[in-house]
Amino acid sequence: MTAFVSQPAPNRPDLGPLPPFGRAALLLDMDGTLLDIAPTPDQVVVPEELPATLHRLRVALGDALAVVSGRPIEQLEALLGDAPFALAGEHGGAIRHRPAAEVERAALASPDPAWVRQAARLAEAHPGVLLETKQHGFVLHYRAVPELGPLLHEALTDLLGGSPAFVLLPARKAWEVRPAGADKGTAVAALMRNAPFAGRLPLFIGDDVTDEDAIIAARKLGGAGLRVPEVFGNPTSVRAWLARAAETGAWPGL
């Protein structure tokens, strides 16, 4: 059996120290961090070893491991099973604080159905654009036709008409319309107020602009936030780093 020994990790000076392994809570983005980006959201592949790695880390961290994603919680459960202890979905709009617990949903606005219909017409008019609907928003993916990014941004900006109840966010070759009032930063804060996260120091890892609020929240709570492109390069390296942490009971150097 591997002996888990908590010790400070050597780290790049510009990143600052990571929370000591024995006092850390690990919060992870999904797409682009744990999983490689796929052409469409339903085509992602979960590497065979990933759930076991996450579960080993969960045990080593006293269950203080969560996934914080833009995906609905039901998708996260289907993809990762019971590997994470807690899940935050829809950019903080829904949180499951522990396995089998009821999902807490924030009181958020839902988009005007006319907006969703217009987004569907945009997708139909531009082959390669994919509409993904969520409980409180929607996403237009343009990975297959990256040249359409500016056109879709302009169309969605006009569609929202400056509504203060919604924000338009860039993602990986996608534009997401989601309600104001919840983000991954509020999700991190909410998770850290409850057991088994309370009293620990958060380490959040994410890859794009939707993760910035979580990175800021983790740092404000005395922890650390790491950006995949700058620190790891890609999800393969993130998974390898997490596997080494699970094996040694300490954060590998960065």
Active site residues: 29
**What's the CA gap between 94 and 89, in Å, rounded?**
5
Q: Which two tokens stand for residue 16?
A: 């600052």
Give which of 82, 91, 110, 46 is closest to 184, Cα–Cα: 91
Containing 56, the helix (H) or strand (E) segment is helix 50-60
**What's the CA gap between 141 and 171, in Å, rounded?**
9
**What's the CA gap between 152 and 122, in Å, rounded?**
8
Give which of 55, 93, 114 is closest to 185, Cα–Cα: 93
Give which of 33, 96, 97, 57 is closest to 231, Cα–Cα: 33
CA distances from 125 to 35, 121, 140, 155, 204 (A): 30, 6, 12, 12, 38
**What's the CA gap between 61 and 203, in Å, rounded?**
12
Is residue 132 within 8 Å of residue 116, measured between CB atoms? no
Give which of 240, 204, 191 is closest to 88, Cα–Cα: 191
Q: Which two tokens stand for residue 72?
A: 């609905």
Is residue 223 within 8 Å of residue 91, measured between CB atoms? no
The rounded radius of gyration (Å) of the Cα atoms in the chain is 18
